[in-house]
Structure 1
Amino acid sequence: MEPAARRARPDDLDAAARTLAAAFAEYPWTRFVIPETDYAARLLELQSLYLGYAHQHGVVGVTPDRAGVIALVPPAAPDPDARTVERIVALHGERISRIEAPEPTGRAWRLETLGVAPELQGRGLASALLRFALDAVGDLGGAEIELTTSDPRNVRLYERHGFTVEAHVERPERPPIWSMRAALHG
């Protein structure tokens, strides 16, 4: 049976944040932008903040067991409130300067995160979440989705779902970044 995904409810968000924290515990970019001191707690709180924002302004999808999570925000989403921004800056600490926000195109939805519990990776959950997201954004009138990733395995996953690489940046002092985009066909 093919895994399914659905729109997250508010009571899904805590478990979803835990899933994302586990999925990103060793992710190169996460390790680069979050200090080692209290790393796990910082990562969990950041995931919770980001999910809450995406749930309020965009689309969050989960697998039924919440072992997989995806979050997207529309191009017109407002900036997070000052208190949230202040907390995000504090959690990143001295590494906040390492974050380079991509330039929004003004028309593309942004896939902010996609994660699957490590013990369940490779079972089709990420693909199910991507199909859910592509359909959800299309249903909401979105024409394209953009994202960045620091893992070449993710590039292959996204390419299988219609994303193309628009830029690839390698610098010795940080993890690589692939910028990708998919046009939605309604």
Structure 2
Amino acid sequence: MNVLVRQASSADLEAAARVLAAAFDDYPWTRWAIPEDGYLGRLERLQHLYLSHALENGVVLVDDEVRAVAAFLPPDVPAMSQERQKRVAELHGSRLSALAAVVLPEPPRRSWSLATLGVHPARQGAGLGSALITAGLALADRDAAPGGVALETSDERNVRLYRRSGFTVTAETPIADGPTVYSMSRPPGTA
């Protein structure tokens, strides 16, 4: 299948946030980190906030129909604005203290981050996610960041997907009463 991948614009944010909310509906991390009360609405608003930050400071990729979304952040990306951080905290609500207590390993120094990747459930398995990963990794490789690309996932199925793209698991962090987080990285220029 030939997938047309392009950089997202601000006009794509609403649709992209909806796609990510649908893709992450049953995701172990979001189910643990976001209160059940209004879960889907909170998830979509969180995705919109994170995508807005990524669009301003990194690269957001979508397929032409906006059924798949990936956000890549470069090394030394600035922190989210205080206003966005406040809104993120409000959306995490009662789960914020548990979320703040999580300590994950640091990614490789000067690495890009594959911050999110999601495909609408109706289109999963069609190669859209792989196409976005490939395009994003090519951008990161052109940047020649010495740390390569790092990511975190809490779904073992994703570990297999990312391994096919050259990532290896660098740490497994079990979260108390929550999922295991797999930290993964891919050295620069790995074909």
Normalising by structure 2, we get a TM-score of 0.92
Q: Which residue number in structure 2 is paired with residue 183 of structure 1? A: 187
Q: Which residue number in structure 2 is paired with residue 152 of structure 1? A: 156
Cα distance in 1 for partners of 2:131, 2:17 equals 18
Is residue 144–residue 188 contact of structure 2 (8 Å, CA) maintained in 1? no
Q: Decide which moves more: 162-171 or 110-119.
A: 162-171
Q: Decide which moves more: 90-99 or 49-58.
A: 90-99
Q: Which residue number in structure 1 is paired with residue 133 of structure 2? A: 130
How big is the shift at 1:14?
Answer: 1.0
Q: Which residue number in structure 2 is paired with residue 116 of structure 1? A: 119
Is residue 24–residue 115 contact of structure 1 (8 Å, CA) maintained in 2? yes
The amino acid that maps onto 2:71 is A
Q: Does 1:53 align with 2:57?
A: no
Deviation string, structure 1 residues 20-53 (Cα, Å, up to 9, x no partner)? 0000011111000000111111001000000000
The amino acid that maps onto 2:13 is L
- For structure 1, the 5+ residue unaligned runs are none
Q: Which residue number in structure 1 is paired with residue 63 of structure 2? A: 63
Q: Which residue number in structure 2 is paired with residue 95 of structure 1? A: 95
Q: Decide which moves more: 88-97 or 154-163.
A: 88-97
Q: Decide which moves more: 148-157 or 96-105.
A: 96-105
Cα distance in 2 for partners of 1:116, 1:142 equals 27
Count of aligned pairs: 186
Q: Decide which moves more: 150-159 or 167-176.
A: 167-176
Q: Decide which moves more: 45-54 or 171-180.
A: 171-180
* SS of equivalent to 1:174: coil
Q: Decide which moves more: 116-125 or 133-142.
A: 133-142
- For structure 2, the 5+ residue unaligned runs are none
Is residue 167–residue 178 contact of structure 1 (8 Å, CA) maintained in 2? yes
The amino acid that maps onto 1:119 is A
Structure 1 runs, 4 residues or longer, greater than 3 Å off: none
Q: How do 1:36-47 residues align onto structure 2 when only pairs under 5 Å count?
A: 36-47=36-47
How big is the shift at 1:6?
Answer: 1.3
* SS of equivalent to 1:19: helix
Relative to structure 1, the CA distance from residue 45 to residue 101 in structure 2 (aligned partners, 3 Å threshold; closer, same or farther) is farther
Normalising by structure 1, we get a TM-score of 0.94
Q: Which residue number in structure 1 is paired with residue 166 of structure 2? A: 162
How big is the shift at 1:110?
Answer: 1.1
Question: Identity over the aligned pairs, expressed in percent?
Answer: 45
Relative to structure 1, the CA distance from residue 116 to residue 147 in structure 2 (aligned partners, 3 Å threshold; closer, same or farther) is same
